Structure 1
Amino acid sequence: MVKQADLIIAGGGFAGLGLAVALKVELGGGFDIVVVDPVLGGTPSRDARASAIAAGARRFFERLGVWGEVASESQPILDMVITDSRLDDPIRPSFLSFGGDVEPGEPFGHMVENRLLLDALVKRAAALGVELRGQGASVSRYRREDEEITAILPSGEDITARLLVAADGGRSRLREQAGIAMHGWDYGQSGIVTTVEHELDHEGRAEEHFLPAGPFAILPLTGRRSSLVWTEKTAEAQRIIGLDEAGFHAELEKRFGLKLGELRAVGPRAAFPLAMRIARSFVADRLALVGDAAHIIHPIAGQGLNLGIRDAAALSECVTDAAGLGLDIGAPDVLERYQRWRRFDTVSMGMATDGLNRLFSNDNDAIRLVRDFGLGLVERFPAAKRFFIREATGLTGTVPRLMQ
């Protein structure tokens, strides 16, 4: 069996679904898109994590008609405080704070639970006529045929299109088949992710405590809840998530403190190994990589998901412009435009997060002195703070139309 489509997306995460919805919004019902992911189906998402959505990504979701579905359950990040201390320090002084809006009335970020945003994307994609293949379906491999590319499903069905998009995660099988190498390294760290409830209101404040083992980020959720991204050496992270409730609470309280009153972990605990990996190329013959298939970076600045959204917005614009002119959407010049647009930005952000992690994940007194002096300088210069905020929101450089 062979199905003909205009574009195939392997992977139904934020980047894959975001790209599908963006193209439907831009090109209308006559553009045939198939999204294939084994987890797509009739049941709601069970992803218990939460993500920081930068202002640029929020604008993208708003343009797609998705943000309205989650806006009431999103938490604006109204300000952010950065500290640098040892675990047993009795006081954690604030060296740097960020506050204010990107534009009047527009916070620089929001926290949203992943399941809510994923479900909203699936609902919007279905309403726009995107064909969603789930319940075990996947793109196991592909083959090239003249001016087309064919996705091969385990069921025996083939789907042929002008362009195949690999949005199938950090272990992308399509990237491997294309022979595209990933360059980078492991950090020997893992990120512990969970949700906590606390007695007092966080007032929309995010905090990043730089501890010798790595950053401990407290990110506000709706109600008196916060999402934690807690970096430790891998062996220590495994030990911590294996503790009983009392032991885990003791480790949590040492890092979180009691500034928000009594607290307790209410979400599942998980630990994810941290690495820096960037694909040697973001494109191959009629194949484009987006999201984690193209890059994995340290979560120290909360930019991983936002980079993937920028990929989706940029590739959507490249494809939309080509289709509007009646050109081949999978042609080398279309894909090279996407690669030039996204790869430099990704490498720059990857190296920045790597440098921050190496600078702060240590307990060297001389390095601590230098970095704290640097944080203090930034705190004293509002223009420098505004620059870093604009960088983090994804609103610098060539911004895709759907993020403007």
Structure 2
Amino acid sequence: MTQAFDIVVVGAGMVGAALATGLGQNGFSVALIDRSPPPAFSPDTAPDIRVSALSAGSERYLQSLGAWDHILGMRATPYKRLAVWDETRFPLQNLVPRKLAEVQFDATELGAHHLGHIVENSVTQQALWQTADACPHVTLFHGHGVASLAQSGDTATVTLDDGRELLASLVVGCDGAQSRIRDVAGIGTTRNQYDQQAMVISVRYQGPVEDITWQGFHPSGPRAFLPLHSAGPEHAGESWGSLVWYDSPEELARLKSLDDSTLMSEIQSSFPASLPLLTHIDSKASFPIARQHAKQYHSGRVVLAGDSAHTINPLAGQGVNLGFQDAQALQFALKEAKRAGDDLADPKWLTLYEQKRRPANRRMMLTMDLFYHLFSNRIPPVHLLRNLGLGAARALPFARNRVARYAMGIDEELPAVVRQITSRIPGLNQL
């Protein structure tokens, strides 16, 4: 059986499902393929261990797709404050008052109601599957993978593992960091594996739902808290939260081997004092972290978006927000190609998309790397330097808030002076 579409999107995660929905709403016929069954949600279940900090910009995009109301109808936790501080203790720290080594961003100071929402990945994905399924121009192929991909002069042929063939002008790889579509298209990557790994822990804690997310930086890596929703009447006075602990693979393996009671004690003594009192650990998992960037975003009739094109250090939780920005830029380029009557795989339009997104993704990669290397060491002069840097950020609220507005997606562009600085940093073009 053979079916023809304008575009085939491989991978129905958050970015792929959003892109397919947006393209379908713009009149393209779209096939959306994923090996997994439709995501499920029950309000009575514990939260998904995978959560994301969706920025205000991502929220606007999801609203435009019609998915945001579905998300709010399930679970989403707004946060109004974000705090960052240095937890390293050294003699030189006496030169800098403790309070000066802490920076807090507040939605009120940024002229916003909130900075973003903490949302379970499965909730965002299900909301986007609902919008995709409701769009008459999108056809979902779930429970099936791609067996092969072939390109001819004017058509790409995607063969599913059940033998069905899908013909399209363009194939979009949204199938993650280990993208098979990227490999089949012959697109290479540059990759940097970090020494640290990240451990994510779903917990309940005593107290109401918090409106702040924070990261305390240790030489072994940051330890972060992300607030989630109320634990409900069955756990009165308690709320759910997500913790992230960065450390060496050996240390995280030791932590994962502990029983829940011992692990809770270790968390409570090792995390900053701002952590509420924990009452329960629901689940935990660890994963390696790496910076990876495709050497090009398109080849022939294949184009990449989201984690297939780039992955970054997840220090600030910007990965999915970058992916949604990719989706918006690619939608715009393809809409312009259609309006001009051009082939959707015309390099002119795919290059326009890459020229828009590659520099922005590189800037975020570089920023996360600078944070990683600046905070993940014990050298006293560097420790003093980063404390002074945090102090300067605290003392210059206008510049700090302008950068924060960009990072949260409130503003579309970085301040001009910051763009000029990042454009001059050696090695940026090699990322």
Task: Give TM-score scaled by structure 2 length.
Answer: 0.86
In the alignment, is residue 198 of structure 1 matched against residue 196 of structure 2? no
Measured in 2, the distance between the counterparts of 1:343 and 1:260 equals 37
1:213-252 map, 5 Å: 213-223=220-230, 224-252=239-267
Aligned to 1:144: 151
**CA distance in 1 between partners of 2:270 and 2:147 (Å):** 43
**Cα distance in 1 between the residues matched to 2:132 and 2:158:** 20
**1-structure distance, mates of 2:275, 2:373:** 29
Take 1:219 and 1:19, find their aligned partners in 2: how far apart are those partners? Answer: 27
Amino acid corresponding to residue 49 of structure 1 in structure 2: R
Counterpart residue identity of residue 185, structure 1: N
Q: Which 4+ runs in 1 deviate beyond 6 A?
A: none
2:305 is aligned with 1:283: no
| Letter of the structure 2 residue corresponding to residue 34 of structure 1 | A
Aligned to 2:24: 24
Q: Which residues of 2 match residues 328-339 of structure 1 at below 5 A?
A: 328-339=343-354
Whether the aligned pair in 1 keeps the contact of 2:110 and 2:405 (CA below 8 Å) is no
Structure-2 separation of matches of 1:221 and 1:132: 30
Does 2:351 match 1:354? Answer: no
Closer, same or farther: CA 190–131 of 1 in aligned 2, 3 Å: same
The aligned amino acid for 1:134 is H
Q: Secondary structure at the match of 1:356?
A: helix
User: What letter corresponds to residue 52 of structure 2 in structure 1?
Assistant: S
For these two proteins, the number of residue pairs brought into alignment is: 393
Preserved contact between residue 192 and residue 230 of structure 1 (Cα < 8 Å): yes
What is the correspondence of 1:44-83 to structure 2 with a 5 Å cutoff?
44=41, 47-71=48-72, 73-83=75-85
1: CA distance, partners of 2:98 / 2:262: 23
**Candidates 357, 362, 382, aligned match of 1:342:** 357
Query: Are 2:188 and 2:295, in contact at CA under 8 Å, matched by a contact in 1?
Result: yes
Gaps of 5+ in 1: 399-404
Tell me, yes or no, if the aligned pair for 2:206 and 2:279 is still in contact at 8 Å: no
Which digits, 9 at most, give the CA deviation of each residue in 1:314-358, with x for residues without a partner?
111111122233222121111111111111111111111011111
Q: CA deviation at 1:201?
A: 2.9
Residue 396 (structure 1) shift: 3.0
Q: Are residues 216 and 42 of structure 1, via their aligned partners in 2, closer, same or farther at CA, if it must alter by over 3 Å?
A: closer
Post-superposition Cα deviations, 1:226-247, rounded to whole Å, max 9, x if no partner, equal: 2122211112112211211122
Letter of the 1:209 partner, please give it. G
- Show the counterpart of 1:9: 9
1:255 positional shift: 2.9
Q: Distance in 2 between matches of 1:86 and 1:119?
A: 40
Question: Is contact 1:139–1:154 with CA below 8 Å preserved after alignment?
Answer: yes
Please list the CA deviations of residues 117-143 of structure 1 after superposition, one character each: whole Å capped at 9, or x if unmatched. 1111111110112211112x0123311
Is 1:86 the counterpart of 2:102? The answer is no
**Do structure 1's residue 293 and structure 2's residue 308 form an aligned pair?**
yes
CA distance in 2, matches of 1:318, 1:101: 35
Contact preservation (8 Å) 1:55, 1:102 = no
Q: In the aligned structure 1, how far is the partner of 2:365 from the partner of 2:149? A: 29
What is the CA-CA distance between 1:257 and the residue it aligns to? 4.7
Partner Cα separation in structure 2 for residue 103 and residue 32 of structure 1:
40
Question: Which AA in structure 2 matches 1:110?
Answer: H
Residue matched to 1:175: 182
Letter aligned with residue 192 of structure 1:
M
Q: Using the alignment, how far apart are the partners of 2:147 and 2:118 within structure 1?
A: 34
User: Gaps (5+ residues) in structure 2?
Assistant: 92-96, 231-238, 415-431
Q: Give the distance between the partners of 1:271 and 1:197, measured in 2 at CA.
A: 19
Partner of 2:35: 38
- 1:156 maps to 2:137: no
RMSD (CA atoms): 2.2
* Contact 2:203/2:243 (8 A) holds in 1: yes
How many angstroms does 1:86 deviate by? 3.2
Q: Percent identity?
A: 32
CA distance in 2, matches of 1:86, 1:247: 24
Q: Shift of the alpha carbon at 1:88? A: 11
* Cα shift readout 1:78-107 (whole Å, capped 9, x = no counterpart): 111111113899x97551110025875542
Return the TM-score normalized by structure 1: 0.92
> CA contact under 8 A between 1:101 and 1:108: conserved in structure 2?
no
> Residues 61 and 146 (structure 1 numbering): CA distance in 2 closer, same or farther, change over 3 Å?
same
Q: Is the 8 A contact 1:140 1:173 kept in 2?
A: no
Check the 8 A contact 1:170/1:294 in 2, yes or no: yes
In structure 2, which of residues 182, 192, 207 is the aligned counterpart of residue 185 of structure 1?
192
Distance 1:268 1:8, change over 3 A: same
1:87 and 1:366 map into 2 onto residues whose CA distance is 13
Residues 179, 282 of structure 1: CA spacing in aligned structure 2 closer, same or farther, 3 A cutoff?
same
CA distance in 2, matches of 1:70, 1:159: 31
Q: Which moved more, 1:105-114 or 1:260-269?
A: 260-269
Instruction: Find the aligned partners of 1:267 and 1:32 in 2 and give their Cα distance.
Output: 42
Q: Distance in 1 between matches of 2:132 and 2:360?
A: 28
